[in-house]
Chains A and B, each alone.
Chain A
Amino acid sequence: MASFSVNGEHREVDIQASHPLLWVLRERLGLTGTKFGCGIGQCGACTVLVDGAPTRSCQTPVGSVEGSEVTTIEGLAANGLTSVQSAWIEEQVPQCGYCQSGQIVSATALLNARPRPTDEEIDQFMAGNICRCGAYTAIRKAIHRAAELEEDRVSGDEV
């Protein structure tokens, strides 16, 4: 029995501890926003946050997230679109869109760690997320835009 929290909700799943988190999310919990791309942690389509850290869920045994808080793309927008998602829409990033859940989750983690990342930091942090459509320029722009939106949001809250 695996027991952990997903998008703020406590979940218990009767499954082997070695089962990859990706497939528990997709097949047992119906959270299909997180995608399967390579199965070996090379493409980033399956990226989720585990206690805030970007994690390749295809390589993560569900037993290793016991008691942890998992956030998927579906959980980001629980209280309306996040700054990253708003920026993604503003910059019209997605093409086929298949990698974008992973891109958005990775970008969210990046901005949590570095609220104003440089291009080099973006390239470094996002290197694990492949976009076969080549939407990289738009991704870079959207991350900068999300940083601005988040600053505005925070300063707006202070006012």
Chain B
Amino acid sequence: MTEPTKEVSPYDHQSLSRGAFIKISVVAGVGLTLGVSWRATQTPDLPFSDAAFVPNAYLRIDTDGSITILVDKAEMGQGVSTALPQMIAEELDVPWADVTFEFAAAHDAYGMMVTGGSTAVMESWEPLRQAGATARWMLREAAAQRWGISSELLATRDARVCAPDGSELTYASLASEAAKLQAPNKVDVKKPSEFRLIGQSLPRLDVEAKSTGQAVFGIDAGPPDARVAVIARSPVFGGRLRSFDSSAALAIAGVDEVLEVQSGVAVVAKGYIEANAGRDALVLDWDEGDAALFSDEQLYEALRDGAQASGHTVRDDGQAAQILNESSNAISATFRFPYLAHATMEPMNCTAWVREGRCTVWAPTQFANGPAILGGGARQVAADAAGVSVEDTDLHVTFLGGGFGRRAERDFVQEAAELAGKINGPVKVVWSREDDMRHDFYRPASWHELRATLDADGRPEAWEHRMASQSILQRLVPGWIPRPAARFAGKHDPTSTEGASDQPYAIPHVLMTYKRVDLPIPVGFWRSVGHTHTGFVVESFIDELAHKSDHDPYEYRRALLRKHPRHLGVLEAVAEAADWNSRPPEGRGRGIAVVESFGSYVAQVAEVSVQNGVPRVHKVWCAIDCGTVLNPRIVQAQMESGIAYGITAALYGEINIRDGRAVQGNFTDYQMLRIGQMPEVDVLLVPSGDAPGGVGEPGTPPIAPAIANAIFTLTGQRIRTLPIRL
């Protein structure tokens, strides 16, 4: 699973300050995971707080009894602003009702502040429980000192330290004394059998604010008198501004300023409508560049040629190529996937203010803080764009109206900070829906050619998968890939092949090749990344092989997954829940799929009908093994969410490119699943004792192949291109 891990010395990179070292692991299935550890056992400075007891960067306890947990991950719906406090509250022994949270501002005390790859809970599992346990240890020690007895004799519960004689001290009353103690290096955390809050469906801490209009998203944040800017960006990807005439724009009431910025021409106005009117009145002359000659036709031709060319060998077990070339009855299939936009409900936006050499930013970002080798987190990007130092840049993280990987990009932060550095007063850059859809970092389009032979029992003997796509990693860190990942040297992007290179089926001969194709369309991480297409390819093709050899597709998978107990666990659970062997209701078909991604295992059965060529998903059974379950209700919600996201892509999702432009611009031509199309979803948790896996993304990959496999049972048609067109 784990590809090479390399530790990069901090002294290679000027940008890494204060003894940080970065552990970079390119992990198949997780994409790019970065963890920053800090050499100093205690972080030298904590984010400013005037609370009485600040044992670490994650927690504040005050003398009035308030307990504030600092959340250093982005809340984009996946529930981190509940799950992370839940870990601390567990170890701290405080009642859930007493807990409040704030989003941590970008700060080195948190190391890398990136929320993606479904890693928030996985990465926080050890450090946050440790943070809570450390604070509890200090509060107990403070009580022991006050009472003059050994802390060993003291218990904690409900934000109190309790002595054997029944006397109690509240955490609030101990806060000031605890603050004077030296924090221990490491303390024991609870055993799973002692969990009181972990594993409970505790109410989310953000739900009331989100039900009353009080939650502050990026578009709501910052000074109320901030002016609003919209930016005219090149309609063609990579185009450059030749010249512009702003006189008509400036004549519009409410338009204050028009100025050139890195990404185009910014119109600064009193409000959004005025700014938009100003933008409409601009006269712009673009050098559209080479991309203007690029359309879908060129895209799929390049991808097809790439897949058929000799790519980089990602996996080669046995003699797959030889067997396939000598076979006269190989089964083959070609799959094709389009670009996809993220379409977060909240369009991109960011607010910034530069005054007296300090830059303050309010950003709905998945990547608040990070090292320069990754292009810097939002704080670094803002500092550079505003022309001030990182130390003079404060970046506040807001609620995110959806993320899905889009908000790991920092383009919108760069725009606001650059503009703030050029004008007086605070400014909020707001993207229209069309800006958002036409200037995304898209899920890469891809092309896959599959071939397989079967043995005498109908099981796959040889399996070949040749794939081509753009590389997200290559775009994200072009100067960096070759060095720590020299082996890949720009040839292989594991975030493209995850799920395929490591597909779990017991097949004696497997060959996978990957060809990176460089194209002028920006690509990025999109909920479940490579699994969005590899999950579809593997689960569709294995299903096809099962049918071709007259096997039940569930039993066929089971037989080939004997050595993968966690795959098997969810597969069997979902088959039982869906009563797989029963006949579906008249006019409906069932399809099954199982995909491991981001440390979790998910199997789904979809029950589908087709009427007048339109598929409809009626019911989905979903079994997930995500290791230790932190909050069952949130896991269930994330499965429903991932399924809705996956159905949307399967039935509707496609960004077409014409003359270097994204064709779709709004929900009229880039459709979203609506309430009437949402199937009934039954979620089964198949818990295991393992550490928590991700839940934000793993619900998405299996649904599209489960739907396509169901359609096959109804129409006999294999779906090999998404979105599904019958």
Contacts and interface: CB of A to CB of B under 8 A. Distances in A.
B402 A130 contact: no
A148 to B, nearest CB: 17
Interface string B265-305: 00000111100000000000000000000000000000000
Interface string B395-406: 000011111000
B703 to A, nearest CB: 11
A41 to B, nearest CB: 10
A88 B211 contact: yes
Given A23-B272, A42-B667, A92-B204, A99 B345 contact: yes
A4 interface: no
Most chain B CB within a 10 A radius of its CB, from A28, A126, A133: A133
A151 interface: no
A127 B214 contact: no
Interface string A122-155: 1110110111111111111000000000000000
A20 B76 contact: no
Interface residues of B, number: 59
Interface of A: 19-20, 23, 27-28, 30-40, 42-43, 45, 72-74, 76-77, 81, 85, 88-89, 92-101, 104, 122-124, 126-127, 129-140
Given A37-B347, A92-B203, A139 B675 contact: yes
Given A23-B273, A130-B667, A134-B640, A74 B219 contact: no
Given A38-B667, A130-B672, A138-B637, A96 B345 contact: yes
A43 B400 CA distance: 17
Contacts of B345: 35, 37, 43, 45, 96, 98-99, 130-133
Interface in B78-100: 78-79
B401 A96 contact: yes
A122 B675 contact: yes
A97 B675 contact: no
A38 B579 CA distance: 42
Given A123-B675, A126-B675, A96 B77 contact: yes
Contact of A81 (B78, B212, B674): B212
Given A132-B343, A136-B678, A35 B433 contact: no
A99 B678 CA distance: 16
A112 B581 CA distance: 45
Contacts of A23: 271-273
Given A39-B432, A95-B77, A132-B402, A89 B637 contact: no
A3 to B, nearest CB: 19
B209 to A, nearest CB: 8
A97 B433 contact: no
Contact of B676 (A89, A127, A134): A127
Given A42-B667, A130-B667, A133-B77, A85 B212 contact: yes
A97 B399 contact: yes
Contact of B210 (A20, A32, A94): A94
Contact of B674 (A31, A88, A127): A127
Contacts of A35: 217, 219, 345-346, 401
Nearest to A102: B345
B675 A136 contact: yes
12 contacts: A35-B219, A39-B666, A40-B666, A43-B672, A89-B207, A92-B633, A94-B206, A96-B76, A98-B217, A131-B644, A134-B642, A140-B675
B256 to A, nearest CB: 14
A85 B641 CA distance: 21
A16 B75 CA distance: 37
A121 B372 CA distance: 53
B676 A123 contact: yes
Given A73-B213, A133-B77, A42 B644 contact: no
A96 B675 contact: no
Nearest to B210: A97
B321 interface: no
Given A36-B347, A43-B667, A136-B675, A74 B215 contact: no
Contact of A20 (B77, B79, B273, B643): B273
Interface of B: 75-79, 203-204, 206-217, 219-220, 224, 228, 270-273, 343-347, 399-403, 430, 432-433, 633, 637, 640-645, 666-668, 672-676, 678, 680-681
Nearest to B433: A38
Contact of A133 (B206, B207, B212, B402): B402
A113 B664 CA distance: 36
B673 A134 contact: yes
Contacts of A74: 212-213
B131 to A, nearest CB: 26
Given A97-B399, A98-B401, A133 B641 contact: yes
Contacts of A19: 273
B680 A137 contact: yes
A135 B640 contact: yes
Contact of A95 (B203, B270, B637): B637
Most chain B CB within a 10 A radius of its CB, from A35, A77, A126, A138: A35
Contacts of A101: 213
Most chain B CB within a 10 A radius of its CB, from A33, A40, A100, A137: A137
A34 B213 contact: yes
Contacts of B681: 137
B75 to A, nearest CB: 8
Contacts of B399: 96-98
B667 to A, nearest CB: 4
Given A35-B346, A37-B433, A130-B667, A92 B213 contact: no
Nearest to B345: A98
A85 to B, nearest CB: 5
Nearest to A34: B213
A8 to B, nearest CB: 15
A151 to B, nearest CB: 20
A131 B637 CA distance: 13
A81 B642 CA distance: 30
A27 B271 contact: yes
A108 to B, nearest CB: 12
A139 B641 CA distance: 12
Nearest to A86: B211
A89 B641 contact: no
Nearest to A33: B213
Contacts of A39: 432-433, 666
